[in-house]
Structure 1
Amino acid sequence: MAARDNRHSRIVAWLKIVLPLIALGILSTLFLLSDRRGREVDLPYSEVQLDRILRERRVQNPDYASLTRDGSAITVTASEAVPDPADPDRTDVSDLTATLDLAGGGRVDLSARRGTLDTGRSELLLEGDIRIVTTSGYDLRTEALRAALDLTRVVADTAVTGQAPAGTLAAGSMELRKDGDRNLLRFADGVKLVYRPDTLSAGPDGE
């Protein structure tokens, strides 16, 4: 019993570093470790999984959810999360996907090979083979992107290429932000649009 209690204490101490980054899913686990009367409560991990978490300092299949100040909902999932030992606000994630449900309608789906979730800066950084898909008809690629966690804002300062609702698009940068009651998707730095009316589709109002 003492060994199990000690194991629980070690898990709690480590999760306090990870929880600000992995948020709600694992947060519920923290509160279930024990009740006020000291009764044992089973953890949703096997003994092997507990040893691996403590040894490797990483979490499989983490998720994060947030609501921005301007009403959009953000969810982030990944195959793996590794906290930065030098900064408890930062966690490196791999094979991540993020969904931004825009206030007023529309959705943006993001995916990347890797990224960093920084709750101190309220920012998600994505790198490598990034795909951006919107319900308004854009399917784009870029190599670096940052998304705010506290408001509706997604910025790519690297080249963006892909499909637009009316053709193919290339630009040096891109920004999605809320503009009053609208969600504005803006391209800049050498924008080139090859118009193809056969690709034109009327997507849901969003960006």
Structure 2
Amino acid sequence: MFWSGELAGVTHDDTMTVDGAAGQPGTRHIGPAARRVKVDWRYTKFVGLMRLLLPASAMILAATVIVWPSFNVTDSNNVVDFEAIPGLLHDDRPTMSNARFLGTDKDGNPFTVTAEIAWQEQGYEDLIYMEVLQGDMMMEDGMWATIWSDRGVYDQVGQLLIVESNVNVFTDEGYELHSDYALIDLDQAIAEGHMPVRGQGPAGLIDAQGFRITDNGDRLFFDGRVHLTIYPGVEE
């Protein structure tokens, strides 16, 4: 379903752009075989930004399964039950306002997750809904990353996290990722999005109509018409 598709772009004096349209002056056509070849280190490092989505989103999962269970966990499937926490009922639904969670991931990296509001709906206790959520994490190599979005839903049983509306990922090395939707399957270690996605960083820019990350971030696929711009003269 997800494939790199066509690579399209427009050349510029200060950039190198890969173009999938053959026969255009000043453009470079890359055929299907060449698409599977690593372009250069700048492209590889730049695309590495996309791989941050999976571990950064895993922070939110980690907060859910590590911190929230310290309040109350049902006997079935380790599902957090907000109703069992005193004082969290609001508008007849269990609600937590200005939630803030601190912890470490399985590798000992610290993270912080905040949400303006988190709640559960009656009859759907396996789902946790969140609004205005943000996660911050220090990666193994010392790099800092943050992810935030307007809304999120976490399926505790299926270990699925959906973030939507203004999904943004930033790192302290100048890399950014922007989209409006991402589905993260923490059990299978994959992430995907079917909305337009834009990434940028010191190495260049990339635009696509969707993406899929598999194998714990080791494999990345862009969907639809992909536009990649790589800046020249970037030092590793």
Specify the TM-score bucket, using the shorter chain as the normaliser.
0.5 to 0.7
State the identity as a percent.
Answer: 21
Between structures 1 and 2, the one with greater helix share: 1
5 Å-filtered alignment, 1:186-197, equals 186-197=221-232
Deviation at 1:154, TM superposition (A): 2.0
* 1:89 correspondence with 2:126: yes
CA distance in structure 1 between the partners assigned to 2:171 and 2:220 by the alignment: 10
Match of 2:79 in 1: none
Whether contact under 8 Å (2:147, 2:167) holds in the other structure is yes
Match of 2:183 in 1: 146
Q: 1:87 to 1:168 in 2, by over 3 A?
A: same
Secondary structure of the residue aligned to 1:27 is helix
CA distance in structure 2 between the partners assigned to 1:28 and 1:134 by the alignment: 30
5 Å-filtered alignment, 1:121-140, equals 121-133=158-170, 138-140=175-177
Structure having greater relative contact order (Cα 8 Å, sep ≥ 6)? 2
Secondary structure of the residue aligned to 2:200 is strand
* 1:24 correspondence with 2:66: yes
Whether contact under 8 Å (2:167, 2:179) holds in the other structure is yes
CA distance in structure 1 between the partners assigned to 2:124 and 2:133 by the alignment: 20
Whether contact under 8 Å (1:76, 1:97) holds in the other structure is yes
CA distance in structure 1 between the partners assigned to 2:126 and 2:175 by the alignment: 32
Amino acid at match of 1:175: R
Match of 2:199 in 1: 162
Q: 1:155 to 1:107 in 2, by over 3 A?
A: farther
Whether contact under 8 Å (1:89, 1:119) holds in the other structure is yes
CA RMSD, 1 decimal? 3.7
Unaligned runs of 5+ in 2: 1-62, 74-84
Give TM-score scaled by structure 2 length. Answer: 0.53
Residue-pair matches, total:
159
Deviation at 1:88, TM superposition (A): 1.1
Give TM-score scaled by structure 1 length. Answer: 0.59
Deviates more, 1:128-137 or 1:117-126: 128-137
CA distance in structure 2 between the partners assigned to 1:113 and 1:145 by the alignment: 12
CA distance in structure 2 between the partners assigned to 1:100 and 1:153 by the alignment: 19
Amino acid at match of 1:140: L
CA distance in structure 1 between the partners assigned to 2:222 and 2:174 by the alignment: 15
Match of 2:28 in 1: none
Deviations 1:54-98 (A, max 9, x none): 344201215497968xx8988754221111223111111011124
Deviations 1:128-171 (A, max 9, x none): 11112357763121111111222432212110113144212111
